[in-house]
Structure 1
Amino acid sequence: MARIQLTDLEKQYDDVLAVKGIDLEAQDGEFLVLVGPSGCGKSTTLRMIAGLEDITSGTLRIDDEVVNDVPPKDRDIAMMFQNYALYPHMTAAENMKFGMKSVSDFSSDEIDQRVEEAAETLDIADLLDRKPKELSGGERQRVAIGRAIVREPEVFLLDEPLSNLDAKLRVQMRAELLRLHEELDSSTVYVTHDQTEAMTLGDRVAVLDAGELQQVAPPQELYDFPANRFVAEFIGEPAMNVFPVDVHERNGHYVADHAGFSISLPDGEGLDTASDSSVSMGVRPEDISLASNLPDDAETFAVETTVREPLGELLLLHCQLGDDEIHVKVEPRSEIQPGETIEVGFDEDRLHLFDARSGDALYHSTAPEATKSEPVVTE
C-alpha cells in the first residue's frame, strides 16, 4: 500500500490552466475516486500521478517521497486505460506479461505463475490463448486488469475503465473491482465521469470542476452535505432541485419565501448569513413528498405536474413551481397525470441553502457531524 499526496498541483497547457492547485491525499489502502464532467482535469491529474504528464508546479509525493521527476516505471504504479490498450497481435497471456521483465526482477517461471494466479482470480484462465479480437468487452477488461495486478504494485490508477461496457456489465464489473480491491489491499485512484459509479466504488470521492477540487468526502456525506451548488447538482440522479428564495426572520424564526410557497426553516448555522444574501434553496426529489404522506401539521403547497417518467422502482414527476421546474419522486404506481395540480411538502431535515453568486453552501437543515470528513482507511 502507499499514500499519495498532491500539494498545490497544477498543469498548464500553453495558455490553459487545466489543473488549478489541487490539494488531495489518498490514504494507504484507500479507494479514492476522482469524478467530474468532461474537461474538469480528472484524467490529467491521474496522468500526473502516473508520470505520463509533466507537473507544471506543485508537489507529488508517494509514501513521503517527492516523485515529480521520477520516471513512470520507477513509481511502482499500474495504470489501466479507458480503451484497455491491449496489443492485438498478442494473446491475453502475452498482454498480461508484457512489460513485467522491464519493471521487475521476476524470472519467467515467476511471471507465468503470477499470470496464472491472476487469471484464476479474474475467471479468465481458459481465455489466455485468445487474442483481443476473440474476447468480449468484459473479457478484454479483465485481461487489462490482470496485466495491472500481476505486478502487485503499490498503487492502481484506473482511467474510466468501465465506460466502454454495457449497463449490465458495468454493474457486474463494479462489484468485481471492489472485490479485487479488498483482496489486493492496494491503494487505488479511479477516474470516472459517472457519479453513480463514483458513489458505489469510492471510500471517498473527490469532485472536480474546471480544474479545481470542489469537495472530497465519503459518498454519503457528499450527497447529504454538498459543499456548494455544483456538487449538489452533480451528485445524485436526478439532480437536486435548486431554485431562488428569499430568507427572512419573522417572529424569531427564519422563513424561506418563493413565488410558490412560504415555509419555516429549522434553526441552524448559516441562516443569519442567508437572510442577508441572495440565496438558492436545494431539495432532492426524494425529499419532496405528497401531502397525503405528510403529518397533518406539515407545511405544504401546490405544484402542477407537467411530465411523468415511469422508472419502474419509482415515478418521477416534473412539476411547475411558480416559474421554476422541480422533480418529485413518488410511488411507482401513482395515477398522477400531467396537468394535475398536487399538494406537496419538503422534508424539513433535508433542506439546503446556497449563495446565489458563489454557489457555496450556507446552510443545511441537518448539520453534518464533525467526524464525517475524516478519510476512510482500509486497515
Structure 2
Amino acid sequence: MSDIHIDGLTKEFDDVTAVDDISLDVDDGEFLVLVGPSGCGKSTTLRMIAGLEDITSGELRIGDRRVNDLEPKERSIAMVFQNYALYPHMTGAENMKFGMKSVSDYTDEEIDQRVQHAADILDIPELLERRPSELSGGERQRVAIGRAIVREPDVFLLDEPLSNLDAKLRVQMRAELLQLHREIDATTLYVTHDQTEAMTLGDRVAVLNDGRIEQVDPPQVLYDYPETRFVAEFIGSPAMNTVPVTLRWDDEGVDAVHDNFELSLPNPESFTERPTSGVFGVRPEDISLARNADDVAQTFEAEVSVTEPLGESLLLHCLIGDDELHVKAEARSTIAPGDVVELTVDEERLHVFDSAGEAIYHSSPREAASEDRVNTPEA
C-alpha cells in the first residue's frame, strides 16, 4: 500500500508558520494536486513528505509506516524538481542511474534494464547518451522524470515540474503526465500555482492558502461548489465575480439586493443560515446577454468599460455602480466600451459567502455524480 496519511502537519521557521496543522489522506494510486498562490505552503508540504524538511509537529504515514524520522532514501519516494536538477557532466542515462545503488541492491544489468524501460515509457531512448546542454527544456524534464521512474517508488512527488516550459509544451507535457500516471499507477502528489494545471491533472485538488487547506475535492466539484470565497476567486480564469449584497428575506424567499440589481435566489432552503448581508458570487460564463438567453426571468443593466476578444468568447468588463462584473459573451458580439447591456444569470449557478468568506449558499445542490471524474490524456 502506498496511500499517504497526513495528520496535523505543521512546519515553523522561527516565528513564521509555513504549514499550519493540515490533515489530508491520499489514496493508493491517486493523483492529487496541491495548488495555491506563492507562499501558501504547498512546496514545503511536499518537501516534508520527501524528508527534505523536518516536521515541527504532526504525523506523516506512507502506507503503514510512520515516516516522520526516516531519511529520504528510506521513504520509497521519488521527487521531480522545478529546475530538473540534472548533473551537467553526465549523460541522460547516467543521470537516470545516479543514486540507484545507494537506495537498492540492483545489479548494473538490472539498473540498465530499468533505465531502458523508463526511456521507452517516456519515448526518449535517443536522449540517453546526450548531456543536459544538448537537450531542450522538455527533454530535460523527461530525463528528470525518468530518473524518478527507474526507482519504482511507492510515491511520486512533483514540484512545479512544468513551470519552466513554454505554453505549448506545458499542454503537451500535461497530457503525457496523465498517460504516464495511468501506466505506472503510482500515488502522485503534484504541486503547482497554475490552477489550469490543477484542474486538468488532478483526480482531486487541494487548495492551500496561508499554510492551511481551504478545500479538497475533485476538480469539477471544486469549480461548481467552492466552500470559501478564496477558492471561488482562485479557481477559474477569469475568477468568479463577487460583489457585496443585502439579503432580504420574506415569506416567499430571499432576494440578493445590490445598488444596481435585485435577484430572487432560488432554493432558499439551501442557505445554511439566514444572514441579512453577504457576498454574491457568479462565474463569468454564468452571466449572459439577455438578448441571447432563452427563458429570461430576471435581468439588470450594466455599462461596458472594457472588451477583450478571447476567440471563443468576448470578455466584457461591466460596471455596476462601484463594482465590476466580468461577463463571457458570445464571440463576435458587436459590443463596445460605453455600451449599456442587459444581463441575466444562470439561476442554477449562484453562490453566497458570509463575511468570513465561508460559502453559505449554492443555488443548486451538490451532485454526487460530479465527483466521479476520470482523467483522460486529452484533458
CA shift for structure 1 position 108: 0.2
Aligned to 1:258: 258
What residue identity is the alignment partner of 2:179? R
Superposed counterparts of 1:186-335, under 5 Å:
186-271=186-271, 273=273, 275-335=274-334
Task: Deviation per CA, 1:271-301: give whole Å up to 9, x if none.
Answer: 372x424300000000001101224551001
Asked if 1:23 corresponds to 2:23, the answer is yes
Task: Deviation per CA, 1:235-282: give whole Å up to 9, x if none.
Answer: 000000000011111342211100111111001445372x42430000
Q: Structure 1 residues 322, 98: CA separation in 2 closer, same or farther (over 3 Å shift)? A: same
Task: Deviation per CA, 1:296-345: give whole Å up to 9, x if none.
Answer: 55100100001010111111010101210110001111111110000001
Aligned to 1:361: 359
What residue identity is the alignment partner of 2:347? E
Aligned length: 376
Question: What is the CA–CA distance in structure 2 between the aligned matches of 1:21 and 1:277, rounded to whole Å?
Answer: 33
Task: Deviation per CA, 1:66-107: give whole Å up to 9, x if none.
Answer: 110011001000000000100011111100000001111111
RMSD: 1.7
Task: Deviation per CA, 1:35-78: give whole Å up to 9, x if none.
Answer: 00000000000000000000000000011211100110010000
Paired residue secondary structure (1:141) = helix
* Residue pair 1:271, 1:362 contacting (<8 A) in 2 also: yes
Aligned to 2:159: 159
Aligned to 1:118: 118
What residue identity is the alignment partner of 1:86? L
Asked if 1:58 corresponds to 2:58, the answer is yes
Q: Structure 1 residues 84, 269: CA separation in 2 closer, same or farther (over 3 Å shift)? A: farther
Superposed counterparts of 1:31-42, under 5 Å:
31-42=31-42
Superposed counterparts of 1:336-375, under 5 Å:
336-356=335-355, 358-369=356-367
Task: Deviation per CA, 1:166-188: give whole Å up to 9, x if none.
Answer: 00000000000000000001000
Question: What is the CA–CA distance in structure 1 between the aligned matches of 2:272 and 2:220, rounded to whole Å?
Answer: 27
Aligned to 2:45: 45
* Residue pair 1:27, 1:375 contacting (<8 A) in 2 also: no
What residue identity is the alignment partner of 1:307? V
Aligned to 2:86: 86
Q: Structure 1 residues 340, 64: CA separation in 2 closer, same or farther (over 3 Å shift)? A: same
Gaps of 5+ in 2: none
Question: What is the CA–CA distance in structure 2 between the aligned matches of 1:70 and 1:371, rounded to whole Å?
Answer: 40
Paired residue secondary structure (1:345) = strand
Task: Deviation per CA, 1:192-225: give whole Å up to 9, x if none.
Answer: 0000000000000000000000000000000000
Question: What is the CA–CA distance in structure 2 between the aligned matches of 1:160 and 1:204, rounded to whole Å?
Answer: 17
What residue identity is the alignment partner of 2:362? H
Paired residue secondary structure (1:282) = strand
